Amino acid sequence: MKASAHPIARGLRHLLAGRWTARRCFPPAVLAEVEAAVKRCEGRHPGEIRFAVEAGLPLSELLAGVSPRERAIEVFSRLRVWDTEDNNGVLIYVLLADRDVEIVADRGVADRRVPQSEWEACCRVMERHFAAGRFGEGAVAGIEAVSEVLTRYPCGRIDVGNELPDAPALL
């Protein structure tokens, strides 16, 4: 469930969300589950999945009115998800303070004409789990859903190996 868009309420949520928030929702055992799911699911297709979690936006981004989608695109670039041989990287970005999940796919995937509704369905799967406090289950279910999309819409020639880290990024 996405949080209220009221600017003051949003600002407070972001300012109060620290790294401890991300660590509480994604403790080491959950991070290990996420890493294992990425590794397992990438064996089904040549796509590369990167999972990133951020508790809240930095103050400068809040003041600039950066949306979760805009931040996800920035993180996509910062984590170099685009830096794969076949441009087949997919970022799953979780912004805890906004209770939002965004998926950004590189042009090697997007050019395959994956309908936006496919990515939105993957996000909703995760958001439902997260709203119930099931962060590990939600992350794994989301990774599996993204993997299913990548299987239905093959990207890249063949699997050239593991080009991106499987471990989730805590920002």
- Summarize pLDDT for 57-115 with one digit per residue, the tens: 988 898 898 999 999 999 999 999 998 888 899 999 999 999 999 999 999 887 667 89
pLDDT tens by residue, 16-66: 788 889 999 999 999 999 999 999 999 888 899 999 999 999 888 988 989
Work out how many domains the chain is built from and give that number. 1
Residue 1 lies in a domain: no
Q: Please give the Cα distance from 119 to 129 (Å, whole number).
A: 16
Give CA–CA dist 47/150, Å, rounded.
7
pLDDT at 13: 86
Q: Which domain holds residue 162?
A: 7-170
Is 149 part of any domain?
Answer: yes
Residue 150 lies in a domain: yes
Residue 2 included in any domain: no
Average pLDDT over residues 115-128: 95
The reported pLDDT for the residue numbered 44 is: 87
CATH number at residue 12: 3.10.310.50
Note whether residue 18 is domain-resident: yes
pTM of the model: 0.91
One-letter amino acid identity for 17? A
Q: Is residue 113 within 8 Å of 85, Cβ to Cβ?
A: no
Residue 5: what pLDDT? 60
Is residue 123 classed exposed, middle or buried when 0-12, 13-18 and 19+ CB atoms within 10 A define those classes? buried
